C-alpha cells in the first residue's frame, strides 16, 4: 500500500468519524455530552483539513472547478421563491 492509499483511507475515516460525532452531538441528551461530541467533531474536522491539504499539495486530491452557469442554476434551484 502506498502513501496515497494510506492518506485516502485516513481521510475517509476522518469523514466517517465526523458523521458519527455530528449525530452524537445532535442526539445528545445533556449539555455535557453534547459538548464532548462537539469537541471531538471539531478535532476530527481539523484532522480532515490537515489530511486534505497534505493530499492536495501532492496532487492526490484534485478539485474540479464548477462552471459559473452551473453555480447559477443551483442558486436558482434552491433560492426562496416567496
Helical axes 31-57 vs 3-27, angle rounded to 10°: 160
Quick count: other Cβ atoms within 10 Å of Cβ 71?
11
Q: Which residues fall within 8 angstroms of residue 38, CB to CB, at 6 or more apart?
A: 21, 25
Instruction: Please report the pLDDT score of residue 1 as a whole number.
Output: 84
Instruction: Please report the pLDDT score of residue 82 as a whole number.
Output: 64
| pTM, entire model | 0.75
Beta strands in the chain (DSSP E): none
From first to last of its 82 residues, the chain has per-residue pLDDT tens of 899 999 999 999 999 999 999 999 999 999 999 999 999 999 999 999 999 999 999 999 988 899 999 999 999 999 887 6
How far apart, in Å, are the Cα atoms of 49 and each of 41, 43, 56, 80? Answer: 12, 10, 10, 32
Amino acid at each position: 500500500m502506498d502513501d496515497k492509499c494510506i492518506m485516502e483511507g485516513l481521510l475517509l475515516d476522518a469523514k466517517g468519524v465526523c458523521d458519527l460525532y455530528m449525530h452524537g452531538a445532535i442526539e445528545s441528551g445533556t449539555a455535557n455530552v453534547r459538548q464532548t461530541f462537539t469537541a471531538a467533531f471539531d478535532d476530527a474536522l481539523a484532522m480532515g483539513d490537515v489530511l486534505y491539504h497534505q493530499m492536495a499539495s501532492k496532487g492526490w486530491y484534485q478539485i474540479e472547478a464548477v462552471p459559473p452557469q452551473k453555480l447559477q442554476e443551483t442558486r436558482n434551484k434552491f433560492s426562496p421563491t416567496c
